[in-house]
Structure 1
Amino acid sequence: MKIRYLLLNAYGKGGTIRTVFNQAGSMAAAGHDVEVVSVVRRRKSPRFPLDRRVRVTAIVDTYGAPPAPERSGWTARFSAQGRPSRYVPSGEVAREHFTRDVEARVIRWMARLRGGALVTTRPALNILAARHAGTDVVRIGQEHMNLGTHPRDVRAAILRHYPRFDAVAVLTERDREEYGRLLPGTRVVCIPNAVHAGRKRQSSYANRIVVAAGRLKSQKGFDLLIPAFAQAVATRPGWQLRIFGNGDKEAQLRGLIDEHHVYNHAFLMGFTPRLDDELAKASMFVLSSRFEGLPMVMIESMTHGLPVVSYDCPTGPADVITDGREGLLVPPRDVDALAVAIGQLMDDEGLRADMGTAALARSRTYAPEAVHPRWEELFTTLAAERTGPLRKLVRAAAA
């Protein structure tokens, strides 16, 4: 089967890109003809490894192109390149990337598709696919974020357009229930993302290192983690907090580190392509997010046997972790409760090891061999439903 995955930027660093690459590789290994299509391309090659059987192409390829000329006044406001999207809601966080020109190119690409399947991976792309992709293509809209985090205009567009999909795929059972209530009659399936494959070095639980990772954005709540860690480390001075990732909140977070006088204990490490190695050095992982879809970096940490301390935010942590088994869940945005939970694991290496062992076992339910057959079954089912009526017509005509 021809399977196309459409990403906004397949050359970026996000967790969605990595999980789509994993899925694409598994489908190619199963014998499918797989292509990853990037709306934009601005660098030579993707940052994440990808099965060599998977092709990567781009709709708007500006790698190596000279910078576009500066525009001003009427030309800037009314050129196709500068005008905002016609179809993508203003509340979609990636809307700024969908100029009228980019949007038109994506629509033309979708309209030319014939046969096979198209999997789109964020609301903007989902909405465009629901409206403009050819009806002889199996269309699957992936949602990587829970419904409640979308602004009102995005939810309205979801309600209006997602029923056109052959299936909407979400990451957790809670998501499936919420999207199902909004979209009665639409096939909504729960298929979690899979962690990347390979043997992982396990934590020894002896290093006094706490790890967190993600974009330095408000969503990830590192502004809540730093004061919580400051409370915990005040009576446990041998510990370090290492936060991996880049983003526009870096200056604010450095200010918080100074404000709480933990500059010798808390460190912004930047982006690393070797996060697996850094996770293996740690003794616990902390998720301080305000909201999530399904936090893959948390599950990645569990593959190294790390216990987790997490806010019970919507959605994901409670779908993976049972409080007191694989880690500790605390009320969302409660800095004091987060500090207590971090301190509890700091104080007890045996508890870290017990929870880490349970976390490792739980992570195996998100291994590619556990998750990706569910995608293949969905593709097979949808393709059969699409061709079934045609086969009946052909047989009736032959008779």
Structure 2
Amino acid sequence: MTAARDLFLVANTTDELGGVTAWTHQMARLFRSAGHRVHVIGVHESDLKMAVPEAPDYPVTALYATHPPTPRPLRGVRRFSVPARRRESRRIAAKKQAVARLDALLGPAPAGSVVVVTQVWPMEWLREIDTSHLKVIGMSHESFAYSRACHRYHWVKRHYPHVDRWLALTREDADLWTAEGLDNVDVMPNALAHLPAIPSPRTDKVVASIGRLADQKGVDMLLDTWAKVAPLRADWQLHVYGAGADEPQLRSQCAELGLDGSVKWQGRTDDVPAALAASSVFVQSSRGEGFPLALMEAMASAVPCAAFDCAPGVREIVRDGEDGLLAPVGDIDALADRLLRLTGNPRMRDAMGERARVNVQRFSEERVLEMWEDLFALLER
């Protein structure tokens, strides 16, 4: 029996539609089931909300009602702009209030309580309060390469050397961060949230894509890929599940490619298992990923996957040629080839789907929870 702890999961948001939010509430429920006291904290509430599967039995707090304004230095002519100076004053005052709210939540926590920062951005607030009595764990839910290509690389370098441990999703990524000079890096994979009692029968001629309609998810590349597949698989459909700011452009692209007859825009879904049960192949066309939950959920449903090999987490989940097929990231012809192979060969599809369902269980919640408990115990020493 493990000792009960006070755990705080601190994320960008507590309710945004996306994989990190799903992971946050999945882990909150898992930690609660293990007897820990859990509080989920987000920097702000989101506009595009995710439906939490069940009412949480743990407190959930947002520091801001909406996305806080981005700091803009008062340089040049902005130094003399009264509206700009007022906006900056309001931003600073609001941040002080948010920091005070965070301090009121974490300050009274018992010594040794654990704060898990699920994304690096909340460190901007966390580092303004006294956390000396807490154990702070930082996380990134994207690959080293994807962080390296954007501003979050510098945030990680600035903030995560100061935490007790910071967790990459794979050993490959952890080694890359260690080579950058961080000596507190460890590894923690995401956990498989659900193993359906009955796998997909793989009888419907449907390829499914599930994810936000945003640049990172590469649905534009998926449509270009499907334009190569559809003429050769006239009896198959591509079902796109998700919502996001890019939807109008993607629908326009779909129409221009002449794919309206074979692409179905299913909108966001709060029942991923049902969507996968009605699918025979899963496709992931992301430009960048961390340790994608949707990929694991598809495999758990015995739905074989074709995916861009866009991150170490993808190739750690999918064993190429055994339980799914990978294509070089951004190679539309190669992804089309993988989809044609899976849609055209029922025997391969069934064999890979069944192996996927077995293999993905190495990331079961029980195993990942054991890894977390080992980490908590290590930090107590």
TM-score interval, normalised by the smaller of the two chains = 0.7 to 0.9
CA shift in 2, pair 1:315/1:248, >3 Å: farther
Cα distance change of structure 1 residues 253 and 157 upon mapping to structure 2, 3 Å threshold? closer
Aligned to 1:237: 234
Q: Which residue is 2:132 aligned to?
A: 135
Name which of 86, 110, 115 aligns with 1:78: 86
Deviations 1:250-283 (A, max 9, x none): 1221122112211110122111111210111100
State the match for 2:175 in structure 1: 177
Identity %: 28
Of residues 194-203 and 4-13 in structure 1, the stretch that sits farther from structure 2 once superposed is: 194-203
Provide the residue aligned with 2:164 in structure 1: 166
Cα distance in 2 for partners of 1:221, 1:158 equals 25
> Is this contact kept in 2: 1:127–1:162, CA < 8 A?
no
Deviation at 1:157, TM superposition (A): 3.3
Structure-1 separation of matches of 2:151 and 2:255:
39
Asked if 1:309 is matched to 2:309, the reply is no
Check conservation: 1:126, 1:142, Cα contact below 8 A: no
1:134-213 aligned at under 5 Å gives the runs 134-150=131-147, 151=149, 153-186=151-184, 188-197=185-194, 199-213=196-210
State the Cα distance separating 1:37 from its structure 2 match.
1.5
Query: For residues 11 and 74 of structure 1, do their structure 2 counterparts lie closer, same or farther at Cα, with a shift above 3 Å needed?
Result: same
Q: Where does residue 31 of structure 1 map in the other structure?
A: 35
1:25/1:50 contact within 8 Å kept: no
Matched with 2:61 is: 57
Q: Is the 8 A contact 1:130 1:139 kept in 2?
A: no
State the distance in 1 between where 2:199 and 2:244 align: 28
The one-letter code sitting in structure 2 at the alignment partner of 1:3 is L
| Deviation of the 1:158 alpha carbon | 2.0
Instruction: Name the SS for the 1:162 alignment partner.
Output: helix
Letter in 1 for 2:164: D
Q: In structure 2, which of residues 17, 21, 31 is the aligned counterpart of residue 17 of structure 1? A: 21
Alignment map for 1:181-330 (pairs within 5 Å): 181-186=179-184, 188-197=185-194, 199-330=196-327
Residue 8 of structure 1 pairs with residue 12 of structure 2? yes
Matched-pair contact (CA < 8 Å) for 2:196–2:301: no
Unaligned runs of 5+ in 1: 63-72, 84-99, 386-399
1:128 deviates by 3.6
1:40 aligns with 2:44: yes
Shift of 1:12: 2.0
| Cα distance change of structure 1 residues 170 and 131 upon mapping to structure 2, 3 Å threshold | farther
Distance in structure 2 (CA, Å) of the matches to 1:42 and 1:230: 34
Deviations 1:334-380 (A, max 9, x none): 11111111011111111101000111112211221111121122122
State how far apart, in whole Å, the 1-side matches of 2:54 and 2:186 are. Answer: 26
Mapping 1:359-378, distance limit 5 Å? 359-378=356-375
- Counterpart of 2:318 in structure 1: which amino acid? I
Q: Distance in 2 between matches of 1:46 and 1:297?
A: 15
TM-score (norm 1): 0.83
In 2, distance between residues paired with 1:274 and 1:4?
27
Q: How many residues align?
A: 356
Q: Structure 2 counterpart of 1:356, which letter?
A: G
Q: Kindly state the Cα deviation for residue 105 of structure 1 after the two structures are TM-superposed.
A: 3.3
Aligned to 1:107: 99
Contact 1:221 1:290 in 2 (8 A): yes
**Contact 1:107/1:132, CA 8 A, preserved across alignment:** yes
**Which sections of structure 2, spanning at least 5 residues, go unmatched?**
67-80
1:54 corresponds to which letter in structure 2?
A: Y
Distance 1:184 1:6, change over 3 A: closer
Question: Where does 1:321-340 land on structure 2 (aligned, <5 Å)?
Answer: 321-340=318-337
Query: Is the Cα contact below 8 Å between 1:110 and 1:133 reproduced in 2?
Result: no
| Residue pair 1:34, 1:55 contacting (<8 A) in 2 also | yes
Counterpart amino acid of 2:30?
Answer: S
d(CA) in 1 for partners of 2:158 and 2:303?
A: 42
Q: TM-score, normalised to structure 2's length?
A: 0.87
1:293 deviation in Å?
A: 0.9
CA distance in structure 2 between the aligned counterparts of 1:311 and 1:46, rounded to whole angstroms: 25
Task: Summarize the Cα distance change of 1:26–1:51 in structure 2 as closer, same or farther, 3 Å threshold.
Answer: farther
Structure 1 SS opposite 2:320:
coil
The aligned amino acid for 2:316 is D
* Backbone CA RMSD of aligned residues: 2.2
Please give the per-residue CA displacement for 1:108-144, whole angstroms capped at 9, x wherever unaligned. Answer: 2444424311111212113443454411111011111
Amino acid at match of 1:208: K
Cα distance in structure 1, aligned partners of 2:158 and 2:44:
27
CA distance in 1, matches of 2:190, 2:279: 24
By how many angstroms is 1:50 displaced?
5.0
